[in-house]
Amino acid sequence: MTTTVRTRVAIVGAGPAGLILSQLLADAGIDSIVVDSRSREQIESTIRAGILEQNTADLLRAIDPDTRVDTVGHRHDGIELRFGDEGQRIDFPSLVGRSVWLYPQHEVLKDLLALRLGRGQDLRFGVTVDGVEGGESEHPVVFASDARGEHLRIEAEFLVGADGSRSVVRGAVSGSRADGYFREYPFAWFGILCEAPPSSEELIYSNSGQGFALISQRSPTVQRMYYQCDPSADAAAPSDAEIWDTLQARVPGTTLNEGPIIQRDVLRFRSFVAQELRRGRVALVGDAAHTVPPTGAKGMNLAIADVVLLADALRALLVTGDERLIDSYAERALDRIWKAQHFSWWMTSMLHVTPDASDFDRRRQRGELRTVASSEAGRTYLAEGYTGWPLATDSV
Ligand code: PHB
């Protein structure tokens, strides 16, 4: 059996990008449907990164009166850059007048799902997209099916792929799901969640002789930490004691509070930008359009910056019939995407130790870290990128 749904905008993917887009469209009186192949529980429990740029936090406050960004989340005014036995705090407010918020993505998602469902959004979980047609026309159609095998035909005026790095919609924009610009890295992150008090009030990004480590936080009783590992590492292999030894050795000068490890995972690193971000009446946002390595904490922020631009463009197109903003969407989004690609690559290459690093490479890297840490211009450059460049101003 096939059910047909007619709406103005079909959004594939109920991540931060898809949900925020549905809210911004609703604010402009534009109806949409959001479908996601995952269940609500899966979406709410997937552990992802946790840093929000100031603009991202401001946007969440503007669209959601019940956001918990200031209650469950915490403002962070700096990070520590650690290299060997040297360390430098990067103080964001004094350098750039901005801060970031540590607020994990799955908490953001709980807020956004409650917001959209509470406002009557047509939001369907467990719905997988089988194909897309008519992207070049004014009437794209999405063919999807749910867990019971029932078919859904969605007829819209515009289709948005907010469906993550394995995007199905990307094929309708780029011609092929894989077309784009890639970079692989010879390392990954071993991530843990542990039950322990915080070891530091702020994040520590540490470059040590043995490789990189990041000490992050989640709550007074749960912490998130990562260390650089081989991309083929098996998350189940090391014992808890081995994990703690590795982490402790990589943040000399700080004694980590240890505790039971309640989750462990290996995060692959990849930089990717899709060949095209929009074709006809189909556009990509977020991880469907690009992925960045997690070192610069840009992933979710970049997705939301895309959405702010696309929401403007769809308002103009669907309310007044003005095509200019949708025609320039890709170019304007790519300007920020490539800046964020560079920032994420730069933080990654400055802080990690490649397996084939020579003595020259190590000493040059130490020179780079000292340059950034000891110069106000260097610290400001880092603070500006980390806290986020301004969003398009006329948007929300
Ligand atoms: C995290 O807390 O999960 C986190 C923080 C900063 C990053 C990456 C991940 O750069």
Structure tokens at 286: 């977020």
Query: Residue 393: which pLDDT band, with cuts at 50, 70 and 90?
Result: low
Query: Which of the two residues, 395 and 59, has the higher pLDDT score?
Result: 59
Beta carbon of 295 within 6 Å of any ligand 1 atom: yes
Domains of the chain: 2-74+101-181+272-352 (3.50.50.60)
Residue 267 alpha carbon to ligand 1 centre in Å: 12
Q: Which of 311, 330, 298, 333 has its CA nearest to residue 396?
A: 311
Given the residues 103, 185, 205, 227, the one annotated as active site: 205
Between CA 371 and CA 380 the distance in angstroms is: 12
Main-chain phi, psi angles of 326, to 5 degrees: -70, -35
Kindly report, residue by residue over 249-296, the tens digit of the pLDDT.
999 999 999 999 999 999 999 999 999 999 999 999 999 999 999 999
Task: Output the pTM of the full model.
Answer: 0.96
pLDDT over 70 percentage in the chain? 99
Query: Of 48, 51, 72, 206, which is best to mutate to test ligand 1, by the most ligand atoms within 8 angstroms of its C-beta?
Result: 51
The verdict on the CB of residue 60 being under 6 Å from ligand 1 is no
Q: Is the CB of 51 under 6 A from ligand 1?
A: yes
Ligand 1 nearest-atom number relative to CA 217: 2
Mean pLDDT, rounded, for 203-224: 96
Residue 320: exposure state from Cβ atoms within 10 A (0-12, 13-18, ≥19): exposed
Q: Is 170 in the pocket of ligand 1 (CB under 6 A)?
A: no
Residue 394 has pLDDT above 50, yes or no: no
Question: Stretch 321-329: mean pLDDT, rounded?
Answer: 97
State the distance from the centre of ligand 1 to the C-alpha of 116, rounded, in angstroms.
26
Identify the weakest region by mean pLDDT among 121-130, 138-147, 368-377, 384-393: 384-393
Q: What pLDDT, on a 0 to 100 scale, did the predictor assign at position 159?
A: 98
302, pLDDT greater than 90: yes
Cβ atoms within 10 Å, residue 84: 13
| Residue whose CA lies nearest to ligand 1 atom number 1 | 49
Cα 172 from chain centre: 23
DSSP-derived secondary structure for 214-246 = EEEE-SSSEEEEEEEE-TT--TTSS-HHHHHHH
Active site residue 139: no
Bridge partners (DSSP) of residue 3 are 152
- pLDDT at residue 395 is higher than 70: no
Active-site residue 103, yes or no?
no
Decide if pLDDT at 216 tops 80: yes
State the closest ligand 1 atom to the C-alpha of 297, by its place in the atom list counted from 1.
10
Our answer on whether the CB atom of 344 is closer than 6 Å to any ligand 1 atom is: no
Nearest CA to ligand 1 atom 7: 297
Nearest protein CA to atom 4 of ligand 1, as residue: 49
213 near 225, Cβ under 8 Å?
yes
What spacing in Å lies between the alpha carbon of 191 and ligand 1's midpoint?
A: 10
Question: Quick check: helix, strand or coil at residue 327?
Answer: helix
Told to judge if 329 belongs to the known catalytic residues of this protein, a careful annotator would answer no
Measure the CA–CA gap between 366 and 94, rounded to whole angstroms. 25
- Mean pLDDT (the chain) is 96
Considering the candidates 104, 140, 238, 298, report the single residue annotated as catalytic: 298
- Is 298 touching ligand 1 by the criterion CB < 6 Å? no
CA of 8 to the centre of ligand 1 (A): 36
72, 214, 343, 386: residue to mutate for ligand 1 pocket, most atoms within 8 A of CB? 214
3-state secondary structure 171-220: HHHHCCCCCEEEEECCCEEEEEEEECCCCCCCEEEEEECCEEEEEEECCC
Locate the ligand 1 atom nearest the alpha carbon of residue 216 and give its number: 2
What is the helix (H) or strand (E) element at residue 91, kind and residue range?
strand 86-91
pLDDT of residue 48: 84
Per-residue pLDDT tens digits for 83-136: 988 999 999 999 999 999 999 999 999 999 999 999 999 999 999 999 999 888
Residue with tokens 């490789």: 211
- What is the number of other CB atoms lying within 10 angstroms of the CB of residue 260? 9
The values of phi and psi at residue 145, to 5°, are -145, 150
Mean pLDDT, residues 59-88 taken together:
96
Flag whether pLDDT at 303 surpasses 50: yes
Give me ligand 1 centre to Cα 294, in Å: 7
Asked if the model's pLDDT at residue 24 lies above 50, the reply is: yes
- 357 secondary structure, DSSP code: -
* CA distance linking residue 246 with residue 210, whole number of Å: 9
Coil vs helix vs strand at 294: helix
Sort strands 180-184 and 188-195 into parallel, antiparallel or unpaired.
Answer: unpaired
Q: Is residue 161 in contact with ligand 1, taking CB distance under 6 Å?
A: no
